[in-house]
Amino acid sequence: PEAPHPFMNEAYFFLGKNYLDPFELRNVLLKRSDYFRKRYQADYKTLNALGKFPPAFGLLGATTGMISMMTQLSGRPDQIGPAMATALVATFWGIAVANLIILPLADYANRVVQEDQSVRAMIIEGILAIREGQPTVIVFERLAAQLAPHLRNELKEAYNISTRLDNLGTLEGMPEEVSAAGGNPKVG
């Protein structure tokens, strides 16, 4: 079955490779995780940098409007209002575009990076626990400790996990390459 996160599919694949000891398995998974972190952070940094430009253009528009207004002071006073309005509108749009669109997108991109890295770290920890032969209940508790209590209960119900120590259970939906007995990968 397809895993809920693409990184989990990769992790399952490497779990089945006997030539990777736990140390090398961790290194491979961390490097792959780090690649995505860097890629996603580049998006965040780009958006954050873009957020600096609209206020600068707004300031440029405000300066242009003020210059236009100053040139009208001695000649046509009826043009002062529209020139001042241009200056204020340019400032408004510069601030609005940066603070209502671009910077919130940058914050969202950063939040996505953080959440994705948390999920990837949990996947790595779970895969390594399975490699160590930890019982399902231990793997579950180790990973569930990082979740909010209501999410722990949802997971228990979704995967029909009993966390009693006398019933070590198995995770439903685990790939066939990982045996139910202890969660160790099959040697192929």
CB 90 within 8 A of CB 58: yes
Residue 111 lies in a domain: yes
pLDDT of residue 163: 58
| CA–CA separation, 136 and 159 (whole Å) | 11
pLDDT of residue 157: 78
Residue 91 lies in a domain: yes
Structural domains of the chain, count: 1
What are the average pLDDT values for consecutive 10-residue runs of the chain, which has 188 residues?
80 85 91 92 93 90 85 78 86 92 94 92 91 85 85 78 55 47 41
Residue 16 lies in a domain: yes
pLDDT of residue 184: 45
Range of the domain at 54: 6-132
Residue 141 lies in a domain: no
